[in-house]
Amino acid sequence: EAQLLGSGGGLVQPGGSLRLSCAASGFSFSSCAMGWVRQAPGKGLEWVSVITDGGGTTHYADSVKGRFTISRDNSKNTLYLQMNSLRAEDTAVYYCAKVPGVYYFDFWGQGTLVTVSS
Amino acid sequence: EIVLTQSPATLSLSPGERATLSCRASQSVSSYLAWYQQKPGQAPRLFMYDASNRATGIPARFSGSGSGTDFTLTISSLEPEDFAVYYCQQRSNWPLTFGGGTKVEIK
């Protein structure tokens, strides 16, 4: 059974950094594009970033471009999101999600909460 | 950026009734639209992709239609487990975008 286990969230001060991880199991991780989607408290879904199966191509939302970096280690079946220069508006639950052959999200992790506050 | 506008924001219906949810795109997305269901405290779940294809395990009472800029998710007869928030998402253009959601609540 497919599983995505996110970790690395927490409380960070504005301007700080955090790295999220998402450990995958139960499917061929190295054959799948992956992505991050976030949800601010009480709000809707916002796409953040995607990375292709081999890691050679990445896309970012304008709101995080230049501050966040998506990466993956296929030998460890793990997806990452390095978040720098964090702002209060980055406060959200961050979901990692599997991308099937096209850019939808067909399986989601449980989410990890990031809170940016002084 | 393609803006997806969902309506209504809230739909109050009783079990057994028909639900019709709308998603309108600011420009054509062809048929490249998905629908997700999210329940409180849970991650979203893919329900429909490419406008009219049910994802794995989604019951036949859910159907999707539309192309271009206007899309509809229909639930033919609401079951208790269908009361949730539904989001649409387009994959036609970067950036990927989601609609603001429609909450289907029990009347």
Three-state DSSP at A31 gives helix
Calculate ∠ Cα A4-A96-A110, nearest 5°.
Answer: 55
**Contact present, B6 and B88 (Cβ < 8 Å):** yes
User: What is the spatial distance between Cα B64 and Cα A12, in angstroms, rounded to a whole number?
Assistant: 41
A27 shares contact with chain B (CB less than 8 Å): no
The answer to whether residue B63 neighbours chain A at the CB level (below 8 Å) is no
Q: Give how far the C-alpha of residue A53 lies from the chain's centroid of Cα atoms, to the nearest Å.
A: 15
B23 touches chain A (CB under 8 A): no
pLDDT tens, position by position, B23-69? 999 999 999 999 999 999 999 999 999 999 999 999 999 999 999 99
Query: Percentages helix, strand, coil for chain A, rounded to the nearest 5?
Result: 5, 50, 45
Mean pLDDT, rounded, of chain A: 97
Residue given tokens 């893919």 in the structure block: B46
* Chain B residue at shortest CA distance from A65: B95
Taking CB atoms and an 8 Å limit, are B43 and A110 in contact across chains? yes
What number is the average pLDDT over the span B94-102? Answer: 98
Q: What is the mean pLDDT of chain B?
A: 97
Report the distance separating Cα A45 and Cα A38, nearest Å.
Answer: 6
- CA distance linking residue A60 with residue B34, whole number of Å: 19
pLDDT band for position B86 (cuts 50, 70, 90): very high
Contacts of B43 in chain A (CB under 8 A): 95, 108-111
Of the CA atoms within 13 Å of residue A83, those in its CB half-sphere come to 31
What residue of A is the nearest CA neighbor of B33? A104
pLDDT tier at A101 (50, 70, 90 boundaries)? confident
Candidates A47, A108, A111; nearest CB to B98: A47
- State how far the Cα of B69 lies from the Cα of B21, in Å rounded to an integer: 14
Report CB contact under 8 Å: B95, A62: yes
